[in-house]
């Protein structure tokens, strides 16, 4: 990248870098959407690969708050297309919340590693997915549909936690190869 004498990016390099980051986010969210669309239910659960992919993009590019919220809004809009919920627009609240949680961890959590193997991708993704899922089921079950607390607990245990584990494993597996390929 072009650097000025002070060590900051010049205008053209900044635009090129941002364009590259936007392209990475778009491609990863599109991959998540395709996976979500074509993956069959597993034990009644449809994994939400869009969350895994937006968490992976956040881990790779480390956006600020506004960037993370933007990624979450795009992820929420994509999730709305595949939602089986009676209130799909709740994704526009839950996904930015999950993206923000992931971004905070990606930026401020110390590196968790055993030797050269970092576990930060799994931790940030599981927390991002849990925040997204908890926000979604809380809004959906308790506020919008006025369902009993037992239904909320059932959704947490049977859907949110398994999806968080699946997303964490996927992000952990893909993080290092993606980082090497993209040279972030």
**Residues 4, 172: Cα–Cα separation, whole Å:** 35
Given a contact cutoff of 8 angstroms between Cβ atoms, the answer to whether 61 and 21 are in contact is: yes
The C-alpha atoms of residue 11 and residue 119 are separated, in whole angstroms, by 34
By three-state DSSP, how is residue 62 classified? coil
Spell out the residues 6+ positions from residue 88 whose beta carbon is closer than 8 angstroms to its own.
Answer: 79, 80
What pLDDT is stored for residue 7 in this prediction?
A: 46
Task: State the maximum Cα–Cα separation within the chain, in Å, rounded to a whole number.
Answer: 61
The domains of the chain, with CATH numbers, are 11-182 (1.10.1760.20)
Q: What is the distance between the alpha carbons of residues 62 and 115, in angstroms, rounded to a whole number?
A: 23
Joined tokens for residue 109:
């959590």
Please give the chain's pLDDT, 184 residues, in tens: 444 444 455 566 677 778 899 999 999 999 999 999 999 888 888 889 999 999 999 999 999 999 999 999 999 999 999 888 889 999 999 999 999 999 999 999 988 888 878 899 999 999 999 999 999 999 998 888 889 999 999 999 999 999 999 999 999 999 999 999 988 7
The predicted pLDDT at position 174 comes to 96
The 10 Å Cβ neighbour count of residue 163 is 22
pTM of the predicted model as reported, rounded to 2 decimal places: 0.88
pLDDT of residue 9: 53
């Amino acid at each position: 990248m072009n650097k000025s004498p002070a060590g900051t990016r010049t205008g053209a390099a900044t635009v090129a870098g941002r364009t590259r980051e936007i392209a990475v986010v778009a491609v990863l969210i599109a991959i998540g959407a395709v996976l979500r669309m074509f993956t069959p239910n597993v034990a009644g659960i449809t994994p939400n690969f869009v969350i895994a992919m937006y968490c992976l993009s956040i881990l790779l590019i480390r956006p600020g708050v506004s960037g993370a919220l933007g990624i979450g809004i795009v992820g929420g809009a994509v999730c709305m297309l595949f939602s089986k919920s009676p209130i799909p627009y709740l994704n526009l609240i839950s996904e930015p919340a999950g993206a923000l949680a992931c971004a905070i961890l990606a930026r401020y959590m110390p590196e968790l590693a055993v030797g050269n193997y970092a576990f930060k991708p799994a931790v940030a993704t599981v927390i991002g997915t849990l925040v997204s899922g908890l926000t979604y089921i809380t809004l959906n079950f308790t506020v919008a549909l006025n369902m009993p607390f037992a239904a909320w607990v059932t959704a947490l245990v049977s859907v949110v936690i398994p999806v968080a584990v699946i997303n964490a494993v996927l992000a952990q597996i893909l993080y290092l190869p993606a980082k090497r390929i993209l040279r972030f």
